[in-house]
Structures are given as C-alpha cells and as structure tokens.
Copies of this chain bind each other. A is one copy, B any other.
C-alpha cells in the first residue's frame, strides 16, 4: 500500500486534501472549512464556530509556560478567530486529556487562566470533557460566537486597490518565544542562574499572555465599516496575506517601512542577529487583525488608533510582494510556523 508522508502536504494541504469530498448539505451550514471560523445560521442569525487542539510538546512547553497563562492563551487565541470574522465570541467548550503527572491543583491553575480570559472577553464556558491521557496535556477548545448578517468578512473579498491594514505590532511573540527557549537552555545547563527578563517584559507578555483584538472589532463597528477581507495573524503576516491573496484572487504590495514593530522586538532581533522584517513577516502568534478596506477609507484608517495601513491590494498578475526600504520588490513567502512540515 502506498504511503505518503503528511509532511509532504503540510497542515493546510492535508486539510484541503482530506476534506475535498465533503459538501455542505444543511441550510444552517453557510460556510465550512477555509476561514478563521465556520459560519452557521440558526433562525437567520450567523453563528461562528472555531476549534483548536493544543498539544504539549508541540504547541506549548510547560518548562516555561505557567498553567494559568496556558489556559488564558488557549482561550484567547480562539476568541481571536471569532474577532477575525468581525464577530463576538460568546461560548467555549474545553476538553482536556491529562496524564498522571498533573494534579487537581494544576487543573485549577489552568482553569483560573481560562476564567480570567472568559471574564475579560465576556465569554461563557458551557461544556467540555476531561479524560486521562497516556502522555502529557492535551487541550481541545471550541469557541462559538455571534456574527451580524451581511457583516462577516471572508478571506476572499479583497479587491484591487483596497488598503491593507494591520493592528498593533508584529513579531514580538516570536521574539518572546526565542528568548524563553534560550533561557530554558541556559537554565537547564546551570540551575543556579535565574533568567533576567528586565527590559524584555513586552515580548515575554506577547508570547505568554497574548490578547485578542476585541477593541478593533468594536472600532470597526463604531465607524460602521466592514472590511472586505479579514484574518487574524497566527502564522505570520506573510502567510496570512497569502491566504487573502489566494482566496481573493488578487496580489498585494506591502511596504517594509510601514510594518509596525515594537522597540523591544527590534532590540531582541538584533541580539539574535536576525532581520527584524523577517521576524515581523514570519513570526507567528501575534493574534493581530489583518484586513482590507476600500481605498476611499484612506483618511479614516490613516488616523485610527492602533491601526497601521501597510500597503494595498493589486491585480493577481502582479503577485504578492514586499517593497523594501531601498525600493526593491521581494516575493512574499509563507515561512510561518507549521507543525506538520
């Protein structure tokens, strides 16, 4: 029998491949696989659904991630998927697989983080199950949210000349991860040394306790704008922009000097001898929102707090490129994090 390694397809390729024969049958199923969340409709009301599976040793390392932070982050990254659909998360279910290594107190810590996130974002924990696991900790989260009819941007609605906007700043969570990994190695070698994170609090916090951009969705509602396309940045700006380009059948130009980067991110990149733009383009887990709006909105979005206009959509034939500070055009590539490659 033939054996094709999963690595040859990667995550997106595998999902596309194994779900290609599934067609939607029910009136209540509006949009299935291929966006941040599925769109259902019950009594004419859009209901958004997104699921995530977090596995110890792949998605998190308990050597430097406190369980409370893990719970908080696990919840927030799912909320982020709902905000990326211009909706509001309302419920989550949490399923746990736990090995004997963990105690009741550990689970209390994990759930105190989940509760903190739920309270802050106004979400209810409504279900889930708990079972034993042979190895480590597994967390399955599903988030259900509320959308507004006619106001749910897909990844496929970006149009030529649209502005490309991004919230917050990029690359910090990835720098936080590399810093934590480095300190873990130092610590493992010499247990007497305590890690020194002073001046690096922001990048650590971005990695361990990310926030979802509810405020941006609220801002968009306030100015009554529905993006033509929207996605949250979990795998890196390049990767997400290419999703929009591909699904909208367009190209894009973004400008290196417009990509928002925090000072601590830049300092850390230099310390690691990395190009800060590469970090901002490909570092994952930012959980910022990336979206496109019509060109006429330029005045509005140039002045919206927390938003940066970083480029524009082009015809598909022009490809997806970065314009560097010295004016060169570089093809964007998805080098974001992919656990299956």
**Chain A interface (Cβ within 8 Å of chain B)?**
1-9, 11, 14-15, 17-19, 21-22, 24-26, 28-29, 31-33, 37-38, 40, 42-45, 47, 49-53, 55-59, 90-91, 93-98, 100, 102-105, 107-108, 110-111, 115, 118, 122-136, 138, 140, 142, 144, 146, 339-340
Contact = CB atoms under 8 A, between A and B. Distances in A.
A28 B144 CA distance: 10
Among all A-B residue pairs, the 4 with the closest Cβ atoms: A140-B140, A43-B43, A38-B126, A43-B45
Contact of A44 (B2, B24, B43): B43
Given A50-B93, A51-B127, A55-B131, 4 more contacts: A11-B130, A15-B130, A18-B104, A53-B129
B49 A91 contact: yes
B32 A339 contact: no
A264 B140 CA distance: 37
Contact of A52 (B21, B90, B95): B95
A103 B33 contact: no
13 contacts: A6-B107, A25-B123, A37-B127, A40-B90, A42-B45, A43-B43, A49-B91, A49-B126, A51-B129, A55-B97, A55-B131, A134-B135, A138-B138
A252 B131 CA distance: 29
Contact of A26 (B5, B42, B47, B90): B90
Contact of A104 (B6, B37, B95, B124): B6
Nearest to A93: B51
A124 B58 contact: no
A129 B34 CA distance: 10
Q: Copies per complex? A: 2
Contact of A122 (B2, B17, B19, B26): B26
A123 to B, nearest CB: 8
A44 B133 CA distance: 38
A44 B111 CA distance: 30
A129 B32 contact: no
A300 to B, nearest CB: 31
A4 B130 CA distance: 16
A310 to B, nearest CB: 27
Contact of A131 (B9, B28, B53, B91): B53
A121 to B, nearest CB: 10
A47 to B, nearest CB: 5
